[in-house]
Amino acid sequence: MDQAPGSPDQHQAAQGLPSCYRHPDRETGIRCTRCERPICPECMVSASVGFQCPECVRSGSGTGHTATASRPRTIAGSAVISGDPRLVTKILLGINLAVFLAVLVDKTLVLRLDLVGAAFSPQLNQVVGVADGEWYRLVTSMFLHQEIWHIAFNMLGLWWLGGPLEAALGRVRFLALYMLSGLAGSALTYLLAAPNQGALGASGAIFGLLGATIVLMRRMNYDLRPVIALLALNLLFTFTWSGIAWEAHIGGLVAGGAIAFGMVHAPARRRSLVQFGTCALVLVAIIVTVVLRTQSLT
């Protein structure tokens, strides 16, 4: 239905999205279904219909059924984080930085931890690679960086994208998203790259967070143009710069988007089952990819 000239909705559209009533620096298109105050992902609490603000949840949490129905939940159904909303993000960032500092001290760590399918290493004087039984490389390579610009870009992306996603999905779901996206990137690199081609970095996981951000913003009816532009710019760099493992970027992006879709679109009554099932399917796809590639190389 068309709005009459000068209506409140048209005025709001002209002024842009409203700001969260608890976080004035965050624009949002979501309102509390009870009081209609604008709320951001960190403040929204899942209700039987739509989302509620923390104040309305507390005011309706007296006794009996209402207290149970109004239990604070994020858009993905996890408990609202009461402590540091970036705790897991900070831990992941710390692990990446710690490994980077370790590499500065011992350069041979790159040879022992990077992602390589199967190759003879003259420095180590032995055959190395995932196909040789070193499956841990699929994980260790996700936290391994050599160049300062590489870890700087990845950690900046982790900080920008990780905090909002951790608040919206919850810590456990966010960690699953990060790890599975990174593993998917490693698996696709292992499958498509030359067996003796080394790869390293958290880029697969970061692209997974980017894909998840697009899904989350679409679910919340946010303007997708800024994040689509960011994705397009990153894909441009992926396919035009030399020395970039594009397979990790694409694998992480697809896995992150799929996992996030299952998390934020799962029906309330079967939310845990759908979310667990989505993560399980992605993990099975990763395992099958790795096993088939290993068989072809041995």
Residues acting as catalytic residues: 203, 249
Q: Is the Cα torsion angle 184, 187, 192, 194 positive or negative in sign?
A: positive
CB atoms within 10 A of CB 274: 16
Per-position DSSP letters for 224-237, written without gaps between them: -HHHHHHHHHHHHH
Scanning 106-141, the segments in alpha helix (DSSP H) are: 108-113, 137-140
Coil/strand/helix, residue 135: coil
Q: Cα separations (Å) of 236 from 178, 232, 249?
A: 23, 6, 12
Coil/strand/helix, residue 179: helix
Scanning the chain, the segments in alpha helix (DSSP H) are: 8-15, 54-59, 64-69, 87-105, 108-113, 137-140, 148-169, 171-192, 203-219, 225-240, 246-265, 271-297
User: Hey, what are 29's tokens?
Assistant: 């298109």
CB atoms within 10 A of CB 152: 12
